[in-house]
Structure 1
Amino acid sequence: MNINTILTVILILLANIIFSCGGQEKEDAADFFLKANVSLTQNNYAEALRLYDEAIAKNADFSDAYLNKGITLLKMNRAEEAYEILTEAITIDPTLVQANLVRAEAGLNIGKINESLEDLAQIEKEYKDSSRFYLIKGDLLSTRGTDQLAIAEYDKAISLDKSNVEAYVNRGALYYRMKSYPAAKSDFEKALALDSSHPQALNNLGLILSKEKDWQRALACFDKVLSTQPDDAYSLNNKGYVLLMTGAMEEGKRLVERALDKQPRNGYAWRNLGIYYTQKKMPAEALKNYLKAIDKAEPVDQLYGLTGQAYLDNKQIDEACKIWNQGVILKDSLAIDLVAKHCR
């Protein structure tokens, strides 16, 4: 069940609220609630939020208004506030299972993984036929690092709804992390068959095509994202990498630097800037950027191999071997090759 479905259920039930609660204040609350729902469906989130607050001011026990306020806050990327409001909704009405589902999603966004899994466990019976339920559970298990369990949940989500784009994208991203590239590629292609402009699917498919050195198709993926989102940091960086690999070094560097302006903690972008300086035969500058990428403490393909090569180019063989050996532990394929070649 997605957020729009939740809203539909609440709207259907609203007639009962209006006629059963009695009193002008509560009728006014229901009126504000209806107007807020319209604003929410029109993506006018600020107005929806104002109207839900009006509804709650008129009826402090209006659990559905708390629920929809939580949904609105989540759509506004205010997940911590959403979590608190949804907790109030559940406190008022513990049977409001929709609030548990949405709170689980808010919890995912703020790192409350165990609490969100508990929310889902409480409502699993009611949501046994919900593709979105299994999507959220898969995301939670993926964040926890239990990859195979997460894959099983994504499988359930897709079996219940073959058009669940996010399930394909998120399962594909997990396959990519597991280095199961053919399975990841298949999922991203299926997602794009359903939504040809999905930015995450395009970016991730472009990364796989880059690994395959299918540069033109990779470039087409990144350009498609940038045609509608010209400041997308991931696509800027990924396109920059393709340009670096295909001889357009200066343009590639310019795009990578733009990506870093938007997203300074992107380890891949710092790595790519290091690649540029390696290509320019400036090993000290390359090394500086590779070390910045390592400092971001996120997995980056071939980073330890490239960093060791920069140390070697800088005539620091001991440091090169040290960083390559760290790369071996992290299963960096380039580091594994270079440590065998250069170090005892």
Structure 2
Amino acid sequence: MGKIFRLILLITVFVGCESSEDRTKRFFNLGNQALTKGDYIQAIEYYNQSLKETPNYAQALNNRGVARIESDHPYEAILDYNKAIQLEPQYLDALFNRAYAYEEIGQFENALNDVETIQSITTDSAFVYFYQGLVQTKMRQYDAALLSFQQADSLQPLNPETLINTASIYYFLEKYDTAASIVNSALELSGNDANAYNLLSLIELKNQNYEAALAEINRALDVVPGEPYFLNNRGFIHLQMDNLDLAIEDINRSIVLNPKNGWAYRNKGIYKMLNEDYEGALNLFDRAIKSAEFIDELYYYQGLTFFRQGETEKACKAWQKGVEQKEISSQRIMDQNCG
């Protein structure tokens, strides 16, 4: 009993002698360990303790922001990044993280502003231009995105990921031959890339080569089994092939694996539309819109659902929104049906 008492006494004395600076670093390091393990709630608690000792600790604010966004609290994360950047205006990690958080909530313009700030600090980073291209793609600024990816390629040539995203721009511009050529160049470099196979499947789908599209998406799933976005894309291919039972199986599985996947809600809406459940389809399209995610042809299908109900005015309004989002399909069908 006496030994235990002395041990407790020694620990108490040790902790009591610990300085505020030591406690700041100890809780910060514990937070980092919890963050690495994916225990985000515990990480936040440790960072809170660190910041209680040193409120203006920019690194703890930034890392707490990471834990918050990983636990699905992007707005709180942005508040942490704001304060970290106020303390250290050229804190690159915090600027990148805030850009990502803005992107998560659909505030792409703010994300792009942070990227431009980063570019003013570090002018020769291929990744900065690459990420700028990703944000511009989501803003449907395809010409600007293409320039950003080209700049990234000039700084880091022959990067398969840059080539695949460059190809995606040509895909959205409906230049499918160019897109396919660039994807195949990326595959020559990488050898086996799931994202490349996925994009090839979408290109084949646009060319109405359904069996080829299915073969390519299955190759992507062979590389990354159970990937929710690939499952959803396979479901979309099955929709085009009128394999509705297979389509909804893949789409539902995609939603279970990633409930935030707005593309899957779009595709489930298409499934409902094809089954003449128009109200269910429109509810799902609304859910996809609220996700603030970049989702191509969303307004096209929303308008098509209204049109099938005989509500031409609502259809034309939806397609007009699609035109504003640079959906080529919306422009085409609006020209055909809206005076």
TM-score by length of 1: 0.66
Q: C-alpha displacement at 1:63, in angstroms?
A: 1.3
Which of 142, 151, 174 is 2:146 aligned to?
A: 151
Q: CA offsets, 1:311-330, max 9 Å, x none?
A: 7xxxx7xx789969987995
CA distances 1:166-206 after superposition (whole Å, capped 9, x unpaired): 544544443332223234435555666549464x5544332
Pair 1:157–1:252, CA change in 2 (3 A): same
How far, CA to CA, are the matches of 2:160 and 2:108 in structure 1? 23
| Aligned with residue 63 of structure 2, among 56, 64, 68 | 68
Q: In the alignment, which residue of structure 2 is the partner of 1:122?
A: 117
For residue 160 of structure 1, what is the aligned residue in structure 2? 155
Q: 1:170 to 1:29 in 2, by over 3 A?
A: farther
CA distance in 2, matches of 1:45, 1:162: 37
The count of residues paired between Structure 1 and Structure 2 equals 304
* Mapping 1:80-91, distance limit 5 Å: 80-91=75-86
Aligned to 2:26: 31
| Aligned Cα root-mean-square deviation (Å) | 4.5
In the alignment, what sits opposite 1:230? 226
Residue 300 of structure 1: aligned partner: 297
Map of 1:138 onto structure 2:
133
Task: Establish whether residue 269 from structure 1 lines up as the match of residue 264 from structure 2.
Answer: no
Give the superposition deviation at 1:71.
Answer: 3.2
Where does 1:178-217 land on structure 2 (aligned, <5 Å)? 178-186=173-181, 188-189=183-184, 194=190, 196=192, 198=194, 201-217=196-212
For structure 2, the residue ranges without an aligned partner over 5 or more in a row are 1-17, 290-294
Aligned in 2, Cα 1:291/1:339: closer, same or farther, shift over 3 Å? farther
**Quick check: 2:282–2:302 contact (8 Å CA) kept in 1?**
no
Q: 2:6 corresponds to which residue?
A: none
Distance change >3 Å, CA 47–CA 229, structure 1 → 2 = farther
Question: Does 1:93 pair with 2:92?
Answer: no
Distance 2:113 2:270 in 1: 39
Is the CA contact (8 Å cut-off) linking 1:271 and 1:290 kept in structure 2? Answer: yes
Matched, 1:59 2:54: yes
- CA 1:161/1:76 → structure 2, altered by over 3 Å: closer, same or farther? farther
Amino acid in structure 2 at the alignment position of 1:210? L
Between stretches 213-222 and 331-340, larger displacement belongs to 331-340
For 1:310 and 1:156, the matched residues in 2 are separated by: 45
Cα gap change, 1:91/1:293 in structure 2, threshold over 3 Å: closer, same or farther?
Answer: closer
Aligned counterparts of 1:105 and 1:308: Cα–Cα separation in 2: 35
Q: Tell me which residue corresponds to 1:251.
A: 246
Cα distance in 1 between the residues matched to 2:315 and 2:110: 38
Q: Paired residue for 2:329, among 315, 328, 332?
A: 332
Deviations 1:152-171 (A, max 9, x none): 11222233234756544544
Distance 1:120 1:206 in 2: 31
Higher mean C-alpha displacement, 126-135 vs 136-145 = 136-145
2:12 is aligned to none
2:61 maps to a residue whose letter is Y
The AA in structure 2 aligned to 1:109 is E
TM-score calculated relative to the size of structure 2: 0.66
Matched letter for residue 170 of structure 2: Y
Go from structure 1 to structure 2 and tell me whether the alpha carbon gap of 1:303 and 1:111 turns closer, same or farther (over 3 Å shift).
Answer: closer
The letter of the residue matching 1:230 is G
CA drift of 1:293 comes to 7.2
What's the offset of the Cα at 1:39? 4.6
